[in-house]
Amino acid sequence: MKERRRSVESRGPLPTARSILGNADVVLICKACDRSVDADLPVIIAGGHGDLPLIELKWRCAMCQSTKVTMVVSGARIGRKDA
Ligand SMILES: [Zn+2]
């Protein structure tokens, strides 16, 4: 609670589709058409990108094909040990 800085780099392994599946939801928000969709993690894994950090994946809106997509991880329990 003392530290408010969010340093993604120094927080251990970055979440990947495989590590996050079943632990959290990944919501994609398209800035172009203002839609939000759940990312299809099994599809990403099946496509061979399951071990890439999520922030390195190139997301694309399924509706308008825009790449101006923001990724939000919700309900994450990754990296938290406060039980
Ligand atoms: Zn869109």
Could you state, in order of their start, the residue ranges of all structural domains in the chain?
Answer: 17-74
The alpha carbon of 57 and the centre of ligand 1 are apart by a number of angstroms equal to 17
What average pLDDT does this structure show over 35-63? 93
Average pLDDT over residues 42-70: 93
Query: What is the overall mean pLDDT for the chain?
Result: 84
Q: How far is the CA of 75 from the centre of ligand 1 (A)?
A: 23
pLDDT in the model for residue 62: 85
Expressed in angstroms and rounded, the spacing between residue 65 Cα and the centre of ligand 1 is 6
Tokens encoding 78: 């990754």
Q: Tell me the C-alpha distance between 27 and 57, whole Å.
A: 13
Burial of 59 (0-12, 13-18, 19+ CB in 10 A): buried
Q: How confident is the model at residue 8 (pLDDT cuts 50, 70, 90)?
A: very low
pTM of the model: 0.68
DSSP β-bridge partners for residue 60: none
